[in-house]
Amino acid sequence: MPQSSLPSPRTWSAGDLVTTPRLRADVEDAIAFLSNRPMFIGQNTSGRSWASGSDLGLGLDTEVTDNWNGHVTTTSGSPNSAQYWCQVPGWYLCRSAPAFSYTSSTQAMFAGGLEGLSSGVSFGAWRGPLVLDGSTHPPVPQCIDLVALFNTGPPGGSGDYVQFDAFQNTGSSVNLVSAATQLPTASARWVCALSGTSPLPVPPLAAVPSPITSAWLNANVRDTIKYLIYPPVLRAVYAPNATTLASTAFPGSSSAPLNSLNIDNYGGFNTSTNTYTAPIAGRYLIAGQVNFASNTGAGSYRCGINYNTGNPTQWGDVTTKLSDTTGGGAGVVKRLRLNAGDTIRLAAGQDTGAAVTYNSSSVAQTRLVMVWEGI
End-to-end CA distance of the chain: 27
d(C-alpha 2, C-alpha 11), whole Å: 26
Q: What is the pLDDT of residues 273-297, one digit of tens each?
A: 999 999 999 999 999 999 999 999 9
**177, 138 Cβ separation under 8 angstroms:** yes
Q: How far apart are CA 15 and CA 304, in angstroms?
A: 54
Q: What pLDDT does 77 receive?
A: 46
Phi and psi at residue 13, to the nearest 5°: -120, 155
How high does pLDDT run on average in the chain? 94
pTM score of the predicted model = 0.95
**Confidence class for position 134, pLDDT limits 50, 70, 90:** confident
Q: Is the previous residue joined to 211 through a cis bond, with omega within 30 degrees of 0?
A: yes
Query: What domains does the chain contain, in order, with CATH numbers?
Result: 39-192 (2.60.120.40), 233-374 (2.60.120.40)
With the C-alpha atoms ordered 256, 262, 268, 273, is the resulting torsion angle positive or negative?
positive
Helix (H), strand (E) counts: the chain: 4, 26
What pLDDT, in 10s, does the model give residues 79-119?
A: 579 999 999 999 999 999 999 999 999 999 999 999 999 99
pLDDT in tens, 216-234: 999 999 999 999 999 999 9
The predicted structure's pLDDT at residue 2? 54
Residue 18: its pLDDT value, please?
86
Instruction: Please check the confidence at residue 242 and state whether its pLDDT lies above 90.
Output: no
Which residues, other chains included, contact 63 with Cβ-Cβ below 8 Å and sequence gap of 6+?
Answer: 40, 41, 42, 71, 73
Output the CA–CA distances (angstroms, integers) from residue 34 to 8, 27, 40, 229, in the order listed.
12, 10, 15, 8
Residues 135-141, mean pLDDT to the nearest whole number: 88
Residue 368, judged by CB atoms within 10 A of its CB (0-12, 13-18, 19+), counts as: buried
